Structure 1
Amino acid sequence: MSHFLHIVELDGIGGMKELSYEELPKSVPKEGRLWVHLDRGMESAQPWLASLEDLPSSVVDALFAEETRPRVDHIGDGLLLTLRGVNLNPNSSPTDMVSLRIWVTPHFIITMRRRRLLSIQDIFSELKQGTGPLSTSDILTRLTKTLTVRMSGTIDTLEDKLMDLEESMGEGIELSQRALLVEKRLETVRLRRFLIPQKEAIAKLSVDHSGLFTEEQLVDIRETVNDLTRYLESLESLRERSLFMQEEFVNLQSERMNARMYVLSLLSGIFLPLSFLTGLFGINIGGMPGVDNGMSFWYFCIALVVLGGVQYLMMKKSRWF
């Protein structure tokens, strides 16, 4: 069945046994350690889950919900989780985060995705090598850790790009920098949008008293919460830096525009009286002085030059230049 990506029985010592579709149970297992990983995009996945005895219908509805955000809820005999991981698929933006839906009991875990998650592939590879999780709760613990660890590279890359942008803005502002700044700011916002509820969900998981987790696993989950807290602090710092850079960009643009307007104002201040005089002496009516004198034009030009020079000296003395 194409919607079953992995059907494995954990052996409890780090390895696994792959099962066929025909070996799947008809009801939620009460013993053993079964892991079923599904592709949510396949239409045949939902009927199989709906036919599984002892699986609450609310779990099926939650696993196939269109819109999700990170959450942890107790439903039936297990835990329902929705987590997010960075999108490291080719030609994809890492901040376009991939949803992973999970329902787990002491003997059974269902994971469901629509797009490929490397964290799932990592755990499956460990099981093949005999160094994988020992139980369903161990799978969940490792998933929370690997999903979180993979975020560090994306956040570090985002920080490096913003740092490079800061340095380039110090040398001069280009229009392309503004577009890049907006893009990186949006990436920061997207990451924070999902990491905040994900931290809350995993923090809720770290104080779970259902007996599903061992004390060692709870310690690992608390470390994951600490890592998420650190990532959120980094994202908050990046958000503030991007806001500061945006304000600096606007300020520098305003300063550049003000400098140009200042030069234009000075030129206008010099040429306004000169334009008035040329307009006045350019009227074609009788009585204009110097009409009969051939040197009047040159005298007038000299007067304009002197007037312009006097204006320039007065502005410079007043520190307008």
Structure 2
Amino acid sequence: MDGIQQQHLPGVNFVPAAIAGLIWAYRFREGYEPEPVDPRDVPAALAAEDGWLWLHFSLTDRLARDWLSSFEDLPQEVRALFLAKDEPLGLHTIDHVIFGVIADFHSELGGESDHLGRLRFALNERLVISGRRHPLRSVEEIHRAVQKGLNLPAAGRLIETIIDRFCDSVARRVAGMTDELDTAEDRVVEDMAATERVRLIEVRRMTVRVHRQLSSLCHVLRDWEERSEEADKPALPIAAERLADRLESLDHDILTLQERAKLLQDEVGARLAEETNRSLRALSILTALLLPGSLVAGIFGMNTKDLPFLETEGGFWFAILIGAAATALFYWILRRVGAGLRI
């Protein structure tokens, strides 16, 4: 795995076999650097008496789902979580196993992605099993940190660290969206509103997506903290209250950005409507002023007997003069009745 040769853990009674869909496996022990575990050594690592194990799966692999569905160390309800199509955020416990779904941003080769995905997980004191359908940024960041020697003292700290990294990603996006709105506001003030519609739409779309995830995840952690005194609930060694406070603060920032983007959108819409009204007004005034001349031209264009100036020298210029006079008269009448002609 990952090109790293790892000496097999003792366990001669276990049959060497690859685990389909297993992206990586690490063993964490106090006082030691994280150890990448060969898939053939996973049973031996599970049987070891010290440390804990992290198994991370790709849930798009059918064989991985089959392996998880037959992993009897997890209760049936927990195994069903990894096989379900729906991925609602939540945090639950059964038979001293904590399991649930949390949000994270997708990880893209070209940089940060604005799409949000789900991480499914189950943990006890000795094991963390996680799975995803798409590479997730926070999980990938922690994986790289573990490769460099990051040692997590307890299984629950892994979930805490993932949520913290997700919060870091949201904070970076809040800063980026703030800059976007500052730029849009400057351009709106400079009367360049038409160019900012797409920028504001993207910011609002992003704030809506992130707000839903933050508020849901915050509710999950608050609810877990409120149930902390239940006798049958295993202790989760994560700072649930601290994480909930941080998520709530980020959600407040997101809501502030959302409201600010909405106000800017309303201003942009009002300015664009004003520009459209000015254009329509100018077109209406121009059309009205051309009507008298058009009427005169239409009359002289009729192919009827007794048409004036038909045989008169300079008749064309007389017709032009009448059309211009009619337009001038119409303009004078509009001014007299108080019609605003300013564009």
Once the two structures are overlaid, the 10-residue window that deviates more, 261-270 or 292-301, is 292-301
Instruction: Give secondary structure in 2 for the equivalent of 1:86.
Output: strand
- For residues 293-304 of structure 1, what are the structure 2 equivalents within 5 Å? 294=313, 298-304=317-323
Q: 1:212 aligns with which of 228, 235, 241?
A: 235
Output the CA distance in 2 between the equivalents of 1:104 and 1:185: 36
Q: 1:40 corresponds to which residue?
A: 59
Percent of aligned pairs with the same residue?
19
Are the equivalent residues in 1 in contact too, given 2:55–2:130 (CA < 8 A)?
yes
Could you give the per-residue CA deviations for residues 190-239 of structure 1, whole angstroms, max 9, x where no partner exists? 2223222122122234443435235xx43xx3222122112222222333
Output the CA distance in 1 between the equivalents of 2:155 and 2:282: 73
Q: 1:89 corresponds to which residue?
A: 108
Q: Does 1:320 align with 2:341?
A: yes
- Pair 280,129 (structure 1): closer, same or farther in 2 beyond 3 Å: closer
> Taking structure 1 as the reference length, what is the TM-score of the superposition?
0.82
Instruction: Give secondary structure in 1 for the equivalent of 2:107.
Output: coil
Once the two structures are overlaid, the 10-residue window that deviates more, 69-78 or 158-167, is 158-167
Output the CA distance in 2 between the equivalents of 1:249 and 1:205: 43
Q: 1:72 corresponds to which residue?
A: 91
Q: 1:271 corresponds to which residue?
A: 290
Q: Does 1:261 align with 2:280?
A: yes
Could you give the per-residue CA deviations for residues 237-288 of structure 1, whole angstroms, max 9, x where no partner exists? 3333333333333333322222122122222322323333343354454555
Q: 2:202 aligns with which of 179, 183, 192?
A: 183
Output the CA distance in 1 between the equivalents of 2:255 and 2:172: 16
Instruction: Give secondary structure in 1 for the equivalent of 2:172.
Output: helix
Are the equivalent residues in 1 in contact too, given 2:27–2:45 (CA < 8 A)?
no
Q: 2:7 corresponds to which residue?
A: none
- For residues 242-257 of structure 1, what are the structure 2 equivalents within 5 Å? 242-257=261-276
Once the two structures are overlaid, the 10-residue window that deviates more, 224-233 or 306-315, is 306-315
Output the CA distance in 1 between the equivalents of 2:36 and 2:306: 111
Instruction: Give secondary structure in 1 for the equivalent of 2:62.
Output: coil
- For residues 222-261 of structure 1, what are the structure 2 equivalents within 5 Å? 222-261=241-280
Instruction: Give secondary structure in 1 for the equivalent of 2:108.
Output: coil
Q: 1:172 aligns with which of 171, 175, 192?
A: 192
- Pair 273,27 (structure 1): closer, same or farther in 2 beyond 3 Å: same
**Residue identity opposite 2:235 in structure 1:** L
Once the two structures are overlaid, the 10-residue window that deviates more, 80-89 or 122-131, is 122-131
**Residue identity opposite 1:43 in structure 2:** R
- For residues 55-66 of structure 1, what are the structure 2 equivalents within 5 Å? 55-66=74-85
Q: Which runs of 5+ in 2 are unaligned?
A: 1-17
Structure of greater relative contact order (alpha carbons < 8 Å, 6+ residues apart): 1
> Taking structure 2 as the reference length, what is the TM-score of the superposition?
0.78
Could you give the per-residue CA deviations for residues 19-61 of structure 1, whole angstroms, max 9, x where no partner exists? 3334334897796422222222333323333333341122111
Output the CA distance in 1 between the equivalents of 2:140 and 2:279: 58
Q: Which runs of 5+ in 1 are unaligned?
A: none
Q: 2:157 corresponds to which residue?
A: 138
Are the equivalent residues in 2 in contact too, given 1:14–1:131 (CA < 8 A)?
no
Aligned length: 316
Output the CA distance in 2 between the equivalents of 1:14 and 1:85: 29
Q: 1:114 corresponds to which residue?
A: 133
Once the two structures are overlaid, the 10-residue window that deviates more, 90-99 or 259-268, is 90-99
Output the CA distance in 2 between the equivalents of 1:297 and 1:117: 79
Are the equivalent residues in 2 in contact too, given 1:72–1:81 (CA < 8 A)?
yes
Shift of 1:104: 1.1
Provide the alpha-carbon RMSD of the alignment: 3.2
